[in-house]
Amino acid sequence: MQYRSGKELRELFIDFWVSKGSRHYPSFSLVPDDPSLLFTIAGMVPFKKYYLGMQTPETPRAVTSQKCIRTNDIENVGRTARHHTFFEMLGNFAWGDYFKKEAITWAYEFLTEYVGLEKERLYATIYLDDEEAFDAWHNHVGLPEDRIYRFGESENYWFMGDTGPCGPCSEIMYDQGPSFSCGKSTCDVGCDCDRYLEVWNLVFTQFDRLEDGSLLNLPKKNIDTGMGLERLTALVQGVNNDFATDLFQPLIQHTCKLAGTETGKDPSTDMAVKVISDHMRAIAFMVADGILPSNEGQGYVLRRLLRRASRFGRLIGLDRPFLCSLMPVLIEIMGDPYEELIEQRLTVEHVIAMEEEKFDRTLEQGTSLLENEISKLEGKKENILSGKVAFDLYDTFGFPLELTEEICQEREVEVNRAEFDNEMKKQRERARASSKQSMSSMKADVFSEILQELGPTRFVGYEACKVNSEAGALLKNGKRVDSIHQGDAGEVVLHVSPFYGERGGQVGDTGWLSGENFEAEITDTYFAGGDLIVNSIVVNRGTLKEGASVEAAVDTERRRSIMRNHTATHLLHEALQQVLGRHARQSGSMVSDEFLRFDFTHFEGLSPEQIREIEEKVNEKILENVDLNIRETSMEEAKKTGAKALFEEKYGESVRVVTISDFSCELCGGLHVDSTGEIGLFKILREESVGSGIRRITAVSGLKAFSLAQSLFSVVSEISHELSADPEELPARISELTEQVRTLSKEKADLKLKLMASTFEEKLKRRELPGDIDILTARFEDVPVDLLRELGDRVKNKNTGNVLLLASVMEGSSVQMTAMADEKALQAGIHCGKFVKAVSAVVSGGGGGRPAMAQAGGKDVSSLDTALEKAADIAREQISKE
């Protein structure tokens, strides 16, 4: 068998299926167009709607090498030969075209004649009664009967969900030889060991399972296959695990070089570098596809992988941020064909660097907590750390168990592994119960049925704002109806529509429908079931019936405002990249008639100077009044021109490219002005953070920006008049007044403090404690905590051997307390944190702090005097314990 690189095998697979008439689709995003999935978890996911009959395929045959993410067995990564979070699934697909015979014979042809696997080592598994598959393997391929194994539903049957498309499958197995065997006498095809390795799974989707479990023949039979590129590469390169292939080794060797170590000497080191290489691939591709770290969903998974890779680096001595240095290596391995790694390199590196720095701070917190837990154990003369504590450190702070054990071992403390494992098991059960990584929730609905019946809506809104059309389908409360009457709300699907459906951040059009004996208002427009445009309506007069002829008219004034804001977002996007850098990439937007909102990747707040420069660049381009060039072209040609493609958009083969002179070029299906001068004016309202590494700009354009300028000018004029200063003098004048207010406030506080100090001695109650210590207590009304501290400091500076407890009733509804102790009191055993906590309990409160000073609060004002009386007993008890 000829040695081939992973890249060569990927290309070989694609070229083979293209030669069989399949259309090659480049890998789809890891972010699926499917609400039931967090990630693209298999090659068939982008084509799922074809299997469900929700859309008609563009081609009857397809081939992909699909990027996939799975994290349900993350703990096994690095421990086994083939568990990964990121992997590539080689797949060929057919819808109502070739079936079992072709799928099986061509798969066999590819593996034996192109890849070079030995025919004598190949085995096949089929479903129990799948005679069609048996015939293909035995009579067409020539596989001996004793190398064809029949298994039941759990091994050789595939279901998309409880109901829906399903069918038998056939797995192709390869005998790697006795050295891979588990050694059991029962070792055979189907054994869990690696001797008989599953190479390829061929799924034959031919039935529709009903709710009662019965099976109906699908009108069209389909093929869905999946073969892991990493697994095939390991087989061809003659290594015993995926990590020994050229898809991982450069990453592993670079990591070893950074850590000053090598593989093959220490199992824990070997596992660490495997985890790092696997996770680095997942991290880079996730960020390149627009996923950013967060505390939920896809972003949470990304953050977890990033921190897991970082902490495994620490286990091999990499106690500094290091993951960014792996990016050039990954690009060398996978930049061809995955150009997004190159295009988004800066963003990927920024996100990684930011998260590693943040993780450093988190680890410091975790270490502090762990040290505190160990100190508690030592105080109790115990040496077993709770497994729950170890798990909380792992789950909250990203501490690997190995790191916790290492720190504990230095202090002669043992971790309760059984308890830790039990907590981990519970978390996995919770994760599986709530996992979105199932394929069952996407089902054909009323809109997909309408789409099948009427076909995609013909959108003519680029050219026209008013057209004659026909009401193809009506809905009310989600169900098809024949008519919608006056005063009722519902939805209508037109055969031809001028209304733009909400997509790509641009809100949907509004407008009117009218016809014989009826008038209706369009309140919203959106897409459903693929390319079906749906209008939300309220019938104002008469009755709208299905099939009725209608005149459809867009609210053009509102649309013009939307168009101004939409074109402004393109100018803003480019201005951001020019001012901040090319990493400032759009991560979301909302374009309405009132304002525009633009989310972008950046890692710190913008300075006033940067905001001003961005506004200037946008408004300069508006004043130039350059014409927009909008054209349709192929995705391939668009990429050649350098057009920006946005991750949240799903593009087909034909795309619209919006070009604004030599300034901006983006793929966009939205509506735009004819020339930039129509925007009029652009003004940023605010810039803020909306998540880790994501900033948001909210802005206005056109008349909204002009109205804002008028309003602000009026406010400035009013303030100028009030302060008797010209507008340009206002900053200095306001600064002067602010300083005066600050000075007067300080003088007021000083006077209040002096007044309190003059009566302080009268309020103080002094009682003796053991060890020549005194406790001094006092009650005040509406005195803030900072003044209580100042009073306490004055007393401490005059005397020694004092414990102070000063309390203030705030607005008659709550209590604030400050406790202080000098060095002599501390040596006697006073701990202010514990002391004030006990005292505040009397007033239904709580608090704490350091031994020398602490604060507390409470709600029960009526018990304050009692608390102050008990304070002496509480302090006395602390001293006596010493």
| Tokens representing residue 216 in the block | 């109906």
Per DSSP, 541 falls in state E
**Which neighbouring-strand residues pair with 158?**
167
Taking the mean position of all CA atoms in its chain, how far away is CA 17?
Answer: 34
Residue 38 tokens read as 């967090």
Give the span between the Cα atoms of 476 and 532, in whole angstroms. 17
Give the Cα-Cα-Cα angle 770, 774, 777 (nearest 5 degrees): 130
Confidence (pLDDT) at 192: 85
Low-confidence ranges of the chain (pLDDT < 70): 398, 400, 429-444, 529-530, 646-653, 692, 882
For tokens 């609210």, the residue is 555
Rounded mean pLDDT of the chain?
A: 90
Q: What is the pLDDT of residues 862-872, one digit of tens each?
A: 999 999 999 99
Q: Are 276 and 255 in contact (CB under 8 A)?
A: yes
Which of 100, 96, 99 is closest to 57 using CA atoms?
96
Long-range contacts of 795-801 (CB under 8 A, 24+ apart): 795/760, 795/764, 796/820, 796/822, 799/774, 800/824, 801/771, 801/772, 801/773, 801/774, 801/825
For the stretch 265-281, pLDDT in tens is 999 999 999 999 999 99
Give the pLDDT of residue 401.
78
Query: What 3-state class would DSSP assign to 221?
Result: strand
So what's the pLDDT on residue 432? 53
At 405, is the secondary structure helix, strand, or coil?
Answer: helix
CATH topology of domain 446-455+473-554: Elongation Factor Tu (Ef-tu); domain 3 (2.40.30)
pLDDT for res 434: 42
Q: Which pLDDT value is given to residue 435?
A: 41
| φ/ψ (deg, to 5) at 320 | -140, 160
pLDDT at position 494, please?
A: 96
Edge-first strand order for the sheet with 682-691 is 586-591, 596-601, 694-701, 682-691
CATH architecture of 764-881: Roll (3.10)
* SS3 state of residue 850: coil
**Per-residue pLDDT at 504:** 83
**How do residues 228-248 score in pLDDT, each as one tens digit?**
999 999 999 999 999 999 999
Exposure b/e, 463-484, CB count within 10 A at least 16 = b = eebebebbbbbbbeeeeebebb
For the chain, the domains span 6-238, 278-434, 446-455+473-554, 559-710, 725-761, 764-881
Give this prediction's pTM: 0.66
Between CA 209 and CA 800 the distance in angstroms is: 86
Q: Could you report the per-residue pLDDT of 668-711, keeping only the tens digit for each?
A: 999 999 999 999 999 999 999 987 678 999 999 999 999 999 99
Residue 768 contacts residue 875 (beta carbons within 8 Å): no
What CA–CA distance (Å, rounded) separates 193 from 186? Answer: 11
CATH superfamily, domain 6-238, is Bira Bifunctional Protein; Domain 2 (3.30.930.10)
Q: Which residues of 160-174 are buried (b: 16+ CB within 10 A; e: fewer)?
A: bbeebbbbbbbbbbb
Q: What angle do CA 413, 414, 416 make, to 5 degrees?
A: 140
Per-residue 3-state assignment (H helix, E strand, C coil) for 41-96 = CCCCHHHHHHHCCCCCCCCCEEEEEEEEECCCCHHHCCCCCCCCCEEEEEEEEEEC
Check if CATH label 3.30.980.10 holds for domain 559-710.
yes
Topology alike, domains 446-455+473-554 and 764-881: no
